[in-house]
Each structure stands twice: as structure tokens, then as C-alpha cells.
A = this chain, B = another copy of it.
Amino acid sequence: MKIKVSEIVDKIDAQVIGDDSVEIEDISPIQHSKEGHITFISNKKYSKYLSTTKASAVIVGIDINVDAIKGKTFLQVKNPYFAFSKVVKLFHPDKLLIEEGIHSTAVIGEKTNLGQDVSLGAHVVIGRECTIGDRTVLMPGVIVGDGAKVGADCKIYSNVSIRENVIIKNRVIIHNGTVIGSDGFGFAFEEGKYYKIPQIGTVVIEDDVEIGANTSIDRAALGQTVIARGTKIDNLIQIAHNCKIGEDCVIASQAGISGSTIVGNRVQIGGQAGFVGHITIGDGAIIAAQSGVTKPINSGQYVYGTPANDYKKAFRIQAALRRLPELIKDVMNIKKRLAKLEKNRGTNV
């Protein structure tokens, strides 16, 4: 399929520099593009490829000066990454990853309701009294427990486990191997032994949430663990029981949030960051990767380190730390000089 640059421009509201009649066949990464491809730059690190790429067209930001580069067509946009996502879909429209319909090996429990155009892959298991919304796809090996509700237009990838009574709303994507609604880690210590606290709450995943692969989101002991609308969660992440994660958050891989912690809206959490339980993180906070958050964080605060500290303070400490071995030498030298002065003063007086 060939698409003219002029048609692409219509979709992404770009300003064209160069020939907009060029025909494009595919989209590819800038280092590996061929003639007839379109590519993009959203990270300035890759600007060095602008003059050498074989791509016929390049989506760039409005701040990139391309006047000196000839023989290519540039599409200048405000948000090249967003524009890129639209162009990808032109060349690679979303398609069903399994055969349409209900596979003959799928097992569906009593009193379970399937919406219109639901697709269930091979060996899917759905428990009793569940609801699966219209056009939702459960890929092979997905297992849904009794009483769970999955909304419309969801994509649940292979080998995901959704436990009993979990509620998943609309347009939710959950990647392979992820577990929603496993028991929270709660034990009472009594006379030298741990006794399990029954975990009878549930998990609610709101609209437009995406959850990566092999992540675990525990059900509440009582009440609900909640992932609010639009939040994006990466792979191998731990969300413990009774957490509430706000709207439009982004949580990078291998981060872990302990029980009953409340995360605000639009919070950004770096990879491998950890949080103690029972604290509140304000809206718009940024938590750097590998940080260890031990106290509440204010709205808009940017923290770093273990224990997590205001970003600027943490960086100042870190810079100072590099000078520490030198500082120790300095102080030893000072002590000698001081002792000498003191001795002299003694003889003087």
C-alpha cells in the first residue's frame, strides 16, 4: 500500500517542507529506513541520522531546522511522537490477533454473559456469573474467575489471570502473564506464627488503562484496589492491596508500591522505584527511577534517591559525595596545620 505525503499530512496537521507528492510505502526507524519509507525523530539524540537516513520523508518537531537537508520531505509537527503514532496506524491498522469468535476449546461458566462480537481464544476459561463486554478479545489461555466483569473493547493477552470478582472497565489492555486480583500480602503475627488475613476485597481497573506483562495487582483485603482512568503500567510491576493509583499516571517497569498507598493523578514513576505502604503521593509528582519513597510526597514534587528526597537537594548531595574522599584528605591536612599553629602559639605565648 502506498500513501502520498499529502494524505499523511491531512491526518497529522503537519507543515510540509519539500515535495508532498512523494509516495510512502512503510514506516521504519531512522537508522534503518529505506527509500519510500517515512520515519520520525522525537528524541534529539537521533538528529544525527537526519542527513544520512534513506527515508524519503521524516516527521520532525517544529524546533528542528532542516533547511540544509535536501532531497527529503519533512513534516513538521508540534508533537512528533504523537504524529508518529497516527502514521503507524495508517500503514499497520490494528487487527485481531486470533480468529474471530469463540474457540471450541474455550470453557465458559454458568450464568456468564458474553457481549456482541466477543472473541475467545483457544483454552480460555471464564468462570460463573461473569460479564464480558462487546468486542472484547480474550486471547488463548486467559483465565477469568467467577463473578469478574470485563468491559467493552478490551484486549486481554494470553496467559493473563483475572481473579474472581475483579472489575475491568472499557478499552483496557492487559499484556501476557499479568495477574489481576491475587491475594494481598497480609498476615497477622500471633504467638510466633503468621496467620493469613483473608483478602475479600477486589480490584477495579478503570477505562483506558494499559498494563504490561507479568505484572501483579493485588486485590484489597477489604474494599478495592483501584487503577484509575488512563493510567499506563509497565511490565513486572507490583501494586499491593488497597492501593489507589490516580488517573493518567505512568509507572515504569519493576516499580513496586506497597499496600494502601494512594498515588495522585498524572504521577510519573521511574523504573525499579519502591514505595512504603500507607502514604500519599500528590498529583503530578515525579519519582525518579530506583528511588525509595518512605514519606508522603507533595503535589508536583520531583524526588530522587533512597530515601527519596527533593531532586535538587538529592543531586547536590550526590555531587558533594563525589568530593568526599578528597574532603577527608583535606580535613586530615587541616588538622596537621592546625596542630602546628596551636603548638607555635604555645611557644609564642
Q: Which residue of B lies closest to A251 (CB)?
A: B185
Across the A-B interface, give the 8 residue pairs with the lowest CB-CB distance, nearest first.
A82-B188, A161-B176, A182-B213, A125-B140, A216-B235, A179-B213, A143-B158, A107-B122
Q: Chain B contacts of A196 at CB under 8 A?
A: 85, 173, 210
B328 A323 Cβ-Cβ under 8 A = yes
Segment with Cβ contacts to B, from A2-10, A15-23, A27-35, A62-70: A27-35
User: What is the count of identical protomers in the complex?
Assistant: 3
Annotate A269-299 by CB proximity to B: 1 below 8 A, 0 otherwise. 0011010101000000000011010000000
Which residues does A use to contact B, with CB under 8 Å? 27-29, 32, 43, 45, 79, 81-82, 84-85, 88-89, 92, 94, 97-99, 103, 105, 107, 109, 121-123, 125, 127-128, 139-141, 143, 145-146, 157-159, 161, 163-164, 173, 175-179, 182-183, 185, 187-190, 192-198, 200, 210, 212-216, 218, 220-223, 230, 232, 234-236, 238, 240, 242, 248, 250, 252-254, 256, 258, 266, 271-272, 274, 276, 278, 289-290, 292, 306-307, 309, 313, 316-325, 327-328, 330-331, 334-335, 337-338, 341-342, 344-345, 348-349
Q: Which of B158, B190, B327 contacts A331 (CB 8 A)?
A: B327
Q: Which of B143, B178, B238 contacts A254 (CB 8 A)?
A: B238
Q: Which residue of B lies closest to A39 (CB)?
A: B222
